[in-house]
Structure 1
Amino acid sequence: MKLTDQQCKNANVPSSGITLLSDGGGLYLEIRANGSKYWRMKYTSPITKKQVTFHLGTYPELNLKTARMECSKARLLITSGIDPKEEKQANKTQQHENRINTFETIARKWHTDRAKHPDKWTPDHASRVIRSLELHVFPYLGKRPIAEIMPLEVLDVLKQIEQAGKYDTAHKVYDVVNQVFSYAVVLRLCVFNPASELRRELAQVKQKPFPHITDPKEIGELLRRIDGYGGTIQVRTLLQISPYVFTRPSELRLIKWAEIDFQAALWRKEETEMKNGIPHLVPLSRQVIALLEQMKPFTGHYEYVFYNKSTGKPLSDNAANKAMHRLGYQGIATPHGFRHTASTNLNEMDYNRDWIEYQLAHKEKNSSRDSYNFAKYLDSRAKMLQEWADYLDGLKQQAA
């Protein structure tokens, strides 16, 4: 006979032991001597074929009507060949994992795994990636279980960045977030990647070149100002060498004495030190060799050529940029802009385009030429760089 709410409420509490009130279908109310009342259900497990007692909840928190609904749900699972007790335990485990596997937890694990491999990331790049997550993503998605995050939540974060006018940043953050979710999918912490189709929702960004100058007269004036820079010799020499070699600023800033072959007038960068992950050989003009020789008394006993004694580290990213600002070139020219200056002028001077591209360490886009030969055109590039250095010196003298 079915129970009523009144029977459940007014059921006598046994002086000892347990009283069971059956509602049928395996559902019953268990009443204990301390007054506690528990809804339980007995069934045969479809998996083990053994009798199982399943706890549904406590009365009156779980009333009679709700207890019957929970019992019906359990019966449906059994009919489908699922043991409701095991299913409940699995759900608890999943909920626990969700609490542990937040976006921030998994993102930091992904970052640590990537940063362990210098062939994938330089230390500077690793630092920029985690800082980007900390600024733009963790405050909004950091504490969310990564398995529960939906595409619209990710898009909201990216749109907030766009609304601040940081369109390029939004694309960079997207790339990072997309990689984190792909990593989580591989680890089976996510069923799908909610960021995978969001790139098309972002505003298109036209890449702008770094501020640079190409007019010969203006180049000569800039070089004269650099020679007269009154800051530290490390920063001044860094700026003086930059236009001669036109490597990426981070590559020059982190140049090591061990990478320089003075006799062969070559600077060898290992793949772990390069943005594109490809080793690179830079021929050194007489002017660059002289400037490096000039640095030996100051930093020759350290690992890095441009070593900052006050911090115990190489010069910071901003050291050269700040110097350019002090020279009056903010928004006009940057250390990275020397690459554009050289590329534009050398092409106009009819130097072989391949020599220029190899000197810029641009990765081959043609898949049939992926086996990049870092020593290719070395003699031709050495001749080109010496002529370029002589040309720059000529511009500097004309500006005097």
Structure 2
Amino acid sequence: MEKKLLSDLKIKNAKIKEKNYQLGDQNGLYLLVKANGSKLWQVRYVSPLTKKRNILSIGKYPEISLSQARLARDKYKKEIANRIDPLETKRIAKQKFIRDTKGLCDNLIDEWLEKEALNTKAITHKSKSRILNKDVRPYLKNMHIKDVSTEHVIDIIEKKQTVAPEIASRLFMYLDNLFRYAVLKKYCDRNILADVRKKDIVKTRVAKHMPKITDINILKTLVNQIYNYEGNHNIKNALKLVLHIPLRAENLCHLKWSHLDLDKKILTIPRENMKLNNINLDDFTLPLTNEVINILKEQKSMQCYYFNKNNYVFLGRDNNKAINKESPNKALYKMNFNNERKGNKIRLHGFRGTFRSLIDTLDTKGKFSFEVKERALDHHAKNLVVRAYNHKANYQEQMIELMNFWSDFICGLREGSYY
């Protein structure tokens, strides 16, 4: 008996049942009537490539009519006869669409930055995002990564080279990693920077140490100018603090009250927030001297009038974000500590160099070991074996003596009683 074909009337009269069921047509075409009331055209076929049974969805009824569904079935049957698998064709087309969409530089930058955020410190990721958004995105925004040429990249880097060589160097590294990721995700076939030497585009920078003050008379002037500074109290107290404890600029400016225990007189910065964020190393700790406690209490009293949701010790203009590290640097510039030839130029990071140099000069009796001085700066042995033995060593008592010695020296300069 010949099988009856489907009709529009039969489809319209198809009732909803508790379970999905099928209304068959011919040559593999059928209508799947779902328990939720929707109706979907599907075709059964045997793949010419794998010889396995497949089901291909054509679309929903009534958006796709009966006659349209039959035409689609016939089209797919012809493809199958020519050894073309419709599902494989759809899969390839979908992948191409995804690659073409995600491979757009605007989307790729977002995707890569999202991935990088998982393995990068927040402050570093913020800087990376800012550089890419400012110096790359505007130029490559509407391009697909596969269409970006070496000339495009060189042009971006050379423009930055003239005004900010350090940023240009980072740009090369970021773009190289961006292309590596794009190749991995199959958004493009090759990394166009793989055969380009960085030094052929980015001029080699001569290594230059941060300026520091090692003349005690100049340091005395600096100490008194900082303590008598009449500008913003956040800037003043940040500079006062860094005179006594040699923190990196990033750690100083992003210091939080949660890092401080004023009762136990200890500073603890989580390891992931430090420059060396090796998980095998303990959190960075530093004893707080009496003068440091006084500075922090004064700073705390200045914050009692407003809500500090981010818990930062030193606040920027809007009282929620951390102070910008350039703010104390500008204050030092205005104090005229800017002549490197005369030995009086210093910026935030230079206070660490001042501490390390003068501790060696002042410690005439060799009271403080090399390891203790280095630990105060969070410097660790590069040799992995030495580091493995040293990282558990407890220098707390020696550190207390060292920091009190240095803080007393700084206070002595202020009071005029040391020299």
- Work out whether the TM-score is over 0.5: yes
Match of 1:329 in 2: 337
Q: Which residue of 316, 323, 326 corresponds with 1:318?
A: 326
**Compared CA separation, residues 312 and 92, structure 1 to 2 (3 A):** closer
Give a deviation string over 1:156-192, Cα, whole Å, max 9, x none.
4323322x15322221112222222233233333333
In the TM superposition, residue 234 of structure 1 has moved relative to its aligned partner by 2.2
Contact (CA 8 Å) 1:324, 1:333: kept in 2 or not? yes
1:166 correspondence with 2:167: no
Q: 1:363 to 1:150 in 2, by over 3 A?
A: farther
Shift of 1:92: 9.2
Q: Distance in 2 between matches of 1:157 and 1:114?
A: 22
1:244-277 CA deviation, whole Å, 9 max, x = no partner? 1110122122222222122332100012322322
Normalised TM-score (structure 2): 0.67
Letter in 2 for 1:222: L
1:343 and 2:372 aligned: no
Gaps in structure 2 of 5+ consecutive residues: 1-46, 52-81, 340-344
Correspondence 1:169-318 to 2 at 5 A: 169-197=167-195, 198-201=197-200, 202-278=202-278, 279-299=283-303, 302=308, 303-308=311-316, 310-318=318-326
3-state SS, counterpart of residue 268 of structure 1: strand
> Which amino acid in 2 is paired with 1:168?
E
Q: In 1, distance between residues paired with 2:184 and 2:90?
A: 26
Aligned counterpart, 2:31: none
Counterparts of 2:109 and 2:407 in 1: how far apart (Å)? Answer: 46
Q: Write out aligned runs for 1:12-23 (5 A).
A: none
Q: How big is each residue's C-alpha offset from its partner over 1:349-373, in whole Å with a ceiling of 9 and x where there is no partner?
A: 4553322322212354223345573
> Is 2:384 the partner of 1:367?
yes
Q: Distance in 2 between matches of 1:176 and 1:309?
A: 31
Question: Contact 1:98–1:147 (CA<8 Å) still a contact in 2?
Answer: no
2:391 counterpart SS class = coil
Query: Secondary structure in 2 aligned to 1:307?
Result: coil
Deviation, structure 1 residue 209: 2.5
* Aligned 1:15-54 pairs, distance under 5 A: none
Which one-letter code corresponds to 1:125 in the other structure?
Answer: T
Comparing 381-390 and 317-326, the one that deviates more: 317-326
CA shift in 2, pair 1:156/1:377, >3 Å: same
Instruction: Write the distance in 1 (CA, Å) between the matches of 2:213 and 2:112.
Output: 40
Secondary structure, counterpart of 1:267 in structure 2: strand
Is contact 1:280-1:374 (8 Å) kept?
no
Q: After the TM superposition, which of the residue ranges 221-230 and 205-214 deviates more from structure 2? A: 205-214
Which residue number corresponds to residue 68 of structure 1? none
Distance between the aligned counterparts of 1:377 and 1:179, measured in 2?
40
Alpha-carbon distance between aligned partners in 1 of 2:183 and 2:379, rounded to the nearest angstrom: 32
CA RMSD, 1 decimal:
3.3
Amino acid at match of 1:286: N
Q: Which AA in structure 2 matches 1:353?
A: F
Shift in alpha-carbon separation, 1:190–1:382, aligned structure 2, 3 A: farther
Task: Tell me, in whole angstroms, the C-alpha distance in 2 between the residues paired with 1:310 and 1:363.
Answer: 37
Supply the AA of the counterpart residue of 1:138.
Answer: R
**TM-score (norm: length of structure 1):** 0.69
Tell me the matched-pair count: 321
Instruction: Please name the residue that 1:101 is paired with.
Output: 103
State the match for 1:157 in structure 2.
Answer: 156
Q: How far did 1:328 drift? A: 2.2
Q: Secondary structure at the match of 1:212?
A: coil
Relative to structure 1, the CA distance from residue 89 to residue 290 in structure 2 (aligned partners, 3 Å threshold; closer, same or farther) is: closer
| Counterpart in the other structure of 2:66 | none
Q: What corresponds to 2:370 in structure 1?
A: 353
Q: Secondary structure at the match of 1:263?
A: coil
Deviation of the 1:375 alpha carbon:
6.6
195-204 or 285-294, larger mean C-alpha shift: 195-204
Separation of aligned partners in 2, 1:342 and 1:281: 17
The answer to whether the Cα contact below 8 Å between 1:114 and 1:120 also exists between their aligned partners in 2 is yes
Q: Which residue identity lines up with residue 177 of structure 2 in the other structure?
A: Q
Task: Give the superposition deviation at 1:145.
Answer: 1.5
Amino acid of the structure 2 residue aligned with 1:223 = V
TM-superposed deviation, 1:281: 0.7
CA distance in 2, matches of 1:96, 1:290: 59
Q: What is the identity, as a one-letter code, of the residue corresponding to 1:390? A: D
Q: Deviations over 1:104-129 (max 9, x none)?
A: 321222212333x4x6212x322221
- 1:313 counterpart SS class: coil
Give yes or no for contact 2:101–2:107 (8 Å, CA) kept in 1. Answer: no
Residue pair 2:165, 2:203 contacting (<8 A) in 1 also: yes
Distance 1:270 1:375 in 2: 18
Cα distance in structure 1, aligned partners of 2:228 and 2:372: 32
The answer on whether the counterparts of 1:220 and 1:395 sit within 8 Å (CA) in structure 2 is: yes
CA displacement at 1:152 relative to structure 2: 4.6
Question: One-letter code of the match for 2:226?
Answer: I
Residues in 2 aligned to 1:237 and 1:145: alpha-carbon distance in whole angstroms: 49
1:295 to partner: Cα distance:
2.3
Q: Secondary structure at the match of 2:403?
A: helix
Q: What is the aligned-residue identity percentage? A: 22
The equivalent residue for 2:4 is none
- Does the 8 Å CA contact 1:242/1:338 hold for their aligned counterparts? yes
Q: Which runs of 5+ in 1 are unaligned?
A: 1-44, 50-80
Residue type of the partner of 2:215? D
The aligned counterpart of 2:138 is 139
Cα distance change, pair 92–108 in 1 and its aligned pair in 2 (3 A): closer
Aligned to 1:314, what secondary structure does the other structure show?
Answer: coil
For the pair 1:126 / 2:125, whether they are aligned, the reply is yes
- Measured in 1, the distance between the counterparts of 2:355 and 2:290 equals 18
For 1:137 and 1:363, how far apart are their aligned partners in 2? 36
Provide the rounded CA distance (Å) in 1 between the counterparts of 2:412 and 2:215.
Answer: 14
Post-superposition shift, 1:383? 1.4
| Kept after mapping to 2: 8 A contact 1:132/1:173 | yes
